[in-house]
Structure 1
Amino acid sequence: MQDVLAVVTVVMVGLMVGVEFAVAAFVNPILDRLPDDGGVAARSDGARVLGRIMPFWYIGSVALGAVWAAVAWGGAGAALVVTGTVLLVLSVVMSILLLVPINSRVAAWSQEGVPTDWKQQVGRWDRFHYVRVGVIVLAFVLFTVALG
C-alpha cells in the first residue's frame, strides 16, 4: 500500500512540476515574444484554464504527501516525505498570497481590456512563479529520493 501511495504521489507531483516548468521555461516566454501584445489573450486564457485546474492538483499533491508522510511516519525516508509535503504547503501558500491575485487580474483582461502596466504585472507573476517552480521541484526531488 505504501509503495503504491508513494509512486502515485511522485507521479502526480512530477507531472505538476512538468506543467509548471513548461509554463515558466517555454510557454510564457514564447507568448511574450508574440508581436503586438499577441500573448496577452493567450496568457489570459491560460490563467482561466489553469486557474481552474491547478488548485485541485496542488491540494491533491499536498493531500497525497500528507497521507504518505503519515503512513511512512518513523520509517526510512519519512523525514524526506514530511519535508517535501511542507514544501508543497509552502507552494500553496505562495500561490494564494502572491500568484492568484495577479492571475485573477490576468484572467479578466480579455473581457475588461489590458491595463497599461500589464507587462510589469506578468513579469511579477513570472518571478513569483520561478520561485514556486523551484519549491515544487525540490519537493519532487525529496519525494523521489524517499521512494528509492
Structure 2
Amino acid sequence: MQEVLVIATVVFVGLMVGVELSVAAFVNPIFDRLPNDGGVAARSDGARLLGRVMPLWYIGAVVLGAVWTVQAWGHPQALTVAVAAALLALSVVMSVTLLVPINSQVARWSSQGVPPDWRQQVGRWDRLHFVRVGVLIAAFVLLVAGAA
C-alpha cells in the first residue's frame, strides 16, 4: 500500500508541477503575444477553467503529502516528505492569499471589460506564479528524493 501512495503522490504532484510550469513558461507568454486583446480573453478563459480544477489538484496534493508523511513517520524519508508536504501547503496559502484574488478579477474581464491597469495585474500574477512554481518544484524534488 505504501508503494501505491508514493507513486500516486509523485505522479499527482509531478503532473501539477508540469501544468503550472507550462502556464508560467509557455502559455501565458504566448497569450501575451496575441494581437489586440486576444491575450486578455485567453487569460480570462484560462482563469475560469483552471480556477475550477486547480483547487482540487492543490488540496489533493497536500492531502497525499500529509498521508505519506504520516505513513513514513519513523523512517529516514519522513522529514524529506514532511518538508515537501509543508511546501505544498505553502503553495495553497500563496494561492489563496496572493494569486486567487487576481485570478478572480481576470476571470471576470471578458464579461466586465478590462481595467486600465490590467497589464500590471497580470504581471504581478505572473511574478507570484513563478515563485509558486519554484515552491512546487522544490516540493516535487523532495517527494522524488523521499521515494528514492
Normalising by structure 1, what TM-score? Answer: 0.99
TM value normalised by structure 2: 0.99
Distance apart, 1:115 and its partner CA: 0.6
User: Sequence identity of aligned pairs in percent?
Assistant: 68
For 1:37, the aligned partner's letter is D
Q: Name the residue aligned to 1:113.
A: 113
Report how many residues are paired. 148
- Structure 2 unmatched ranges of 5 or more: none
Looking at structure 2, the residues matched to 94 and 113 of structure 1 have their Cα atoms a distance apart, in angstroms, of 27
- Residue 35 of structure 1 and its aligned partner are, at CA, apart by 1.4
Alpha-carbon displacement from aligned partner over 1:38-88 (angstroms, at most 9, x marks no partner): 100000000000000000000000000000000000102111100000000
Secondary structure of 1:34's counterpart equals coil
Task: Specify the code of the residue in structure 1 equivalent to 2:20.
Answer: E
Structure 1: state its 5+ residue gaps.
none
1:37 CA displacement: 2.4
Partner of residue 79, structure 2: 79
Q: Which residue of 2 aligns with 1:144?
A: 144
Alignment of 1:94-113 (within 5 A): 94-113=94-113
Residue type matched to 1:136 in 2? L
Q: Which consecutive segments of 4 or more residues in structure 1 shift more than 2 A?
A: none
Give the structure 2 partner of residue 18 of structure 1. 18
